[in-house]
Structure 1
Amino acid sequence: MYLVTGASGQLGRLIIQALQDKGVAADQIVAAVRSPEKVLDLASAGVVVRKADYTEPASLKAAFEGVKKVILVSSSEVGQRAPQHQNVIDAAKEAGVELLAYTSLLKADSSPMLLAEEHKVTEAALAASGIPHVLLRNSWYLENYTASAGMAVEHGAVLGCAGDGKYAMASRADYAEAAAVVVTTEGHAGKTYELAGDEAVTLAEYAAAVAEVSGKPVAYQELPEQEYVKVLTGIGLPEGFAQVLANSDVGASQGALFDDSKTLSTLIGHGTTSVKDAIKAAL
């Protein structure tokens, strides 16, 4: 049995699809979710759905029954991730799982990004647990930017505070496939994979690609970090999350989201999604 946490989320759903693409039967996949009613489509397709709340250890213990391999998709609740992940690790250890794959952050052990802190704590917890595990250190998702490509076209601008920092981005589907590969093939326990897209772009280059694909003028506008925070809060993001996003741009300017090892494309056996293809799909 393969268990995927956060299975109602965008990455979790793609991992479940990737597992099936690798030949895993639906009834051998456990979709662990806080709200089972959100994945009725998975249940109707034969996937085993179990309630599993990161904050309720008893629910996790029940969800992990009979499970051999786990993909721990990092929680979306920034600031609460470390204790939530610890609960999952404890449940996995009690269940005696054979392998746990964790979706961490690129260069988590050395990254200057605020987002790296909880990933570092989780990686340390995994090391202390004794569970055979593999670290999937994901770079940025292309969707982090392409989700707002239409807005960039409308306003003629991509905003940020990343300077000339390069983003080696890949699609969620690329990272999902990597997760499926490591739990369905052998030899990955104890490994750390720095996963990033084959193509790396600055935000100015990304804006130019949006302009080329859309046929409309789009340019990158560099802002001071706190000005960018004001823009993000102005469109409705919570202050704390806006600070984290702006800090991530600053981290990118320091190389935190760049990697040219092509580890991801090697692992999945094909090139990663291109920036222009992702923009075309989004628009």
Structure 2
Amino acid sequence: MTILVTGAAGFIGYHASAALLAAGEQVVGIDNLNAYYDPVLKQARLARLERHEGFRFERLDLADDAALMALVERERPDRILHLAAQAGVRYSLENPFAYARSNLLGHLAILEAARRLGDDLSHLVYASSSSVYGETARVPFAEADASETPASLYAATKRADELMSASYSSLYGIPATGLRFFTVYGPWGRPDMAYWLFADAMLSGRAIKVFNNGDMERDFTYIDDIVEPLCRILADAPARGRHAVYNIGGSSPVRLMDMIETLERALGLTAEKIMLPMQPGDVTRTFADTTKLEADYGYKATTRLEDGLPRFADWYRKWREGTV
């Protein structure tokens, strides 16, 4: 059996591909290796994956639907793990068309590929985001909650992906599952995320920018607590035409200032802080209700920020030193 993983050079894509390869799966990874953040990091992740005999990589832009279809026809994957996307809330204010291309056209191309595979495809699993919930007073966020007021274009594209997937699943019998990830962190992470930006600034002797004067909460989720349930879900073979959405999060929101203090302890440094107002597109808190995930797949996150963030800090020092 072959699994097609899109965004294989990305943060979650790398870790998910590594876990699937360790389990003996054959993985075909695709990625366009764009320059949203330093492609050197993406190449380093790929180099580690390419040590496995079961991994093959092809550089491909998902919005090139003809190239994607040709690859899918050639490989005939049993499952698709679709993680490729243009990430970032703030960047969507600067470059909105990148989100239309990657997150809308790219997602549509994947749905068409799944349609072409027909009964040969046992499961399409794709990445959504906690951002779809927007700014809401209701906590924790549950999958049944209305998600009609996204706070950013990024969030709107992710909600659109869910609606498109539900439509295709119903029309063409595609078994599909969307995963709403909550603030994923850990080694080999993304340089645009707050924990990485803070660590880089602190180790470089720069002040950190703290938005909304620190009055924010995030449901930080360690990468292992993303990959384990993701793999369980991907291994499932739902009924034809079933579409479902699951939250995957730590279910334990942490104040931004507490996260900074945890990082300070991990790095042995004290951050100089520049307090700034809320940024457009941000929300004040996220909080995952994972009752549905626990009931259907028997998984609940176990890694506390106090344990996971030092693991990132240790890795990041090595990355900066070129010893990882």
Quickly name the TM-score band, shorter chain normalised. Answer: 0.7 to 0.9
Q: Distance between the aligned counterparts of 1:172 and 1:271, measured in 2?
A: 10
Q: Distance between the aligned counterparts of 2:235 and 2:290, measured in 1?
A: 23
The 1:271/1:176 distance shift into structure 2, 3 A limit, reads closer
Q: Distance between the aligned counterparts of 2:268 and 2:252, measured in 1?
A: 22
Specify every segment of 5 or more residues in structure 2 that has no aligned partner in the other structure, as ranges. Answer: 34-41, 87-97, 133-146, 314-324
Corresponding position of 1:190: 243
Answering whether residue 201 of structure 2 is matched by residue 151 of structure 1, we say yes
Partner of residue 116 from structure 2, selected from 94, 99, 105: 94
Between the aligned residues of both structures, percent identity stands at 20
SS in 2 for 1:280: helix
SS in 2 for 1:64: helix
| Residue 182 (structure 1) shift | 0.8
Corresponding position of 1:83: 105
The C-alpha deviation readout for 1:239-261, integer Å capped at 9, x for no partner, is: xxxxxxx3343x1x1x3x22243
SS in 1 for 2:243: coil
The C-alpha deviation readout for 1:12-40, integer Å capped at 9, x for no partner, is: 1111112134x233xx22212336x9546
* Number of equivalenced pairs: 255
| Residue 105 (structure 1) shift | 0.8
Supply the AA of the counterpart residue of 1:87. A
| Residue 111 (structure 1) shift | 5.4
Q: TM-score, normalised by structure 2?
A: 0.68
| Residue 146 (structure 1) shift | 2.5
Corresponding position of 1:141: 184
Query: RMSD over aligned Cα, in angstroms?
Result: 2.9
Partner of residue 305 from structure 2, selected from 265, 275, 278: 275
Aligned partners of 2:218 and 2:254 also within 8 Å: yes
Q: Distance between the aligned counterparts of 2:213 and 2:69, measured in 1?
A: 42
| Residue 197 (structure 1) shift | 1.5
Alignment of 1:1-283 (within 5 A): 1-21=2-22, 23-25=23-25, 28-34=26-32, 38=43, 39=46, 42-46=49-53, 47-65=55-73, 66-76=76-86, 77-80=98-101, 81-96=103-118, 97-106=121-130, 108=132, 109-110=147-148, 112-114=150-152, 115-130=154-169, 131-142=174-185, 143=189, 144-148=193-197, 149-152=199-202, 154-155=205-206, 157-161=208-212, 163-187=214-238, 189-218=242-271, 221-225=274-278, 246-249=279-282, 251=283, 253=284, 255=285, 257-261=286-290, 267=297, 269=299, 271-283=301-313
Supply the AA of the counterpart residue of 1:49. F
| Residue 220 (structure 1) shift | 5.7
